[in-house]
Amino acid sequence: MGAYAKNVRDTAKSFWEGMSITLSYMFRKPITTQYPDRVGVPVRDTIPARYRGFLEVDMDICTACLACERACPIAVINIDVVKGDGKTRPKLNMERFDIDIGKCMYCGLCVEPCPTGAIQHTREFEGAVMHFDNLTLRFVPDPTNPIPAYKVPKGSDAFPRRPLGEITRKLIKAWDAPPPPFPSMEEAAKAKEHGAPKEGGLDPSAMGRQLAAKALSVKEDKPKLQKVLEEAMAGTDCGDCGYPDCFGYSNAIAQGKDTATDKCAPGGADSKAMLETILVTLKTGAVPAPATPAAGAVPAPATPAAAASPAPPAEAKPEAPAAPEAPASPPPAQDEIPLGTKPPPK
């Protein structure tokens, strides 16, 4: 009987202990957030500063070094750059800078190599849309009006940036926004040419010969030679070459401490070809002549306009005289006809 009474007492005690905790919340201030319509401050302002939300690019300080595009493991970032000579046109112009936030895995690998901090993770996360194609953020709104790359001032270690999240909030589409128009044949063909050299862009052969002639004239003046070599580079100061900036890389080549021509990743094949032309000129003492098509080179395929135009009539060649016909052989005799064949008609 004593054990039974003890069990009842312990049960009642544990019951009231549990209920006292539950009842205490009736007199406390509620902590439930009525998201999204009844919140005192936007939820994004309550998220930690290092939260990895949607990516944002400040095009005002983007150097077009393509470091973020190379770092992305799943090709979320797509950048199209048109190169110029740096005098009549900027060295680098960006025609496209797209980020597919629906495909992004928010790893942060693209943020780390950016030399100016132009690309950053924001605290934005609200991007629900009805059409998946609306999740592509286009930081160059008009491809016909490209954005020139930012030139980093020498010795700078801080760069002015717009408030984080301001650009992305303007680019995020409304949830019920219509999908983008289906790409035309021309737009689809242009998308396939991503990364290919642009028509009317920089001619690396001609530019390389010009820089080679300048380098040959200042061969013994190392500071001037360094400036000529730096003109052949992209000028983004991204540090991808292993040096702090383009000055360090070009100065190492000018001093003979480095002979590699393929370290300028933003410049790509164009910078490599121009640097090779300069180094060959400095070694041989003569600027290479423009390349001419070889005698046995295969001609380029005809353009549609050339294919549509009628070919000129070929000159008529005199026909060779016909050979005289051989005289017909007389029919075989009756006794020469093989067995099993019919004799020729008389």
Which domains are delineated in the chain?
A: 55-192 (3.30.70), 204-284 (no CATH)
Q: Residue 13 is encoded by which pair of tokens?
A: 């005690």
Rounded distance between C-alpha atoms, residue 143 and residue 288, angstroms: 36
**Average pLDDT score over the chain:** 80
Report DSSP state, residue 194: T
For 28, 158, 247, 281, 287, the CA distances from 217, given in Å and listed in that order, are 83, 37, 20, 11, 11
Residue 239 pLDDT > 50, yes or no? yes
Residue 57 pLDDT > 80, yes or no? yes
pLDDT at residue 303, rounded to an integer = 44
- Give yes or no for a contact between 225 and 255, defined as CB atoms under 8 angstroms apart: no
- Give tens-digit pLDDT for 274-298: 888 898 888 888 888 887 655 555 5
* Banded pLDDT at 119 (limits 50, 70, 90): very high
The whole-model pTM stands at 0.66
Residues 6+ apart with CB under 8 A from 134: 173, 177, 179, 180
Q: Which carries the bigger pLDDT value, residue 103 or residue 329?
A: 103
Compute and round to an integer the Cα radius of gyration of the chain.
Answer: 38
Q: How many CA atoms lie within 13 A of 101 on its CB side?
A: 27
pLDDT at residue 329, rounded to an integer = 53
What is the mean pLDDT of the segment spanning 99-103? Answer: 93
* Banded pLDDT at 305 (limits 50, 70, 90): very low
Rounded distance between C-alpha atoms, residue 15 and residue 272, angstroms: 79
- Give tens-digit pLDDT for 60-74: 999 999 999 999 999
Q: How many CA atoms lie within 13 A of 61 on its CB side?
A: 19
What is the mean pLDDT of the segment spanning 89-111? Answer: 91
Least-confidence region, from 80-89, 158-167, 281-290, 305-314? 305-314
Rounded distance between C-alpha atoms, residue 75 and residue 268, angstroms: 18
Rounded distance between C-alpha atoms, residue 282 and residue 121, angstroms: 46
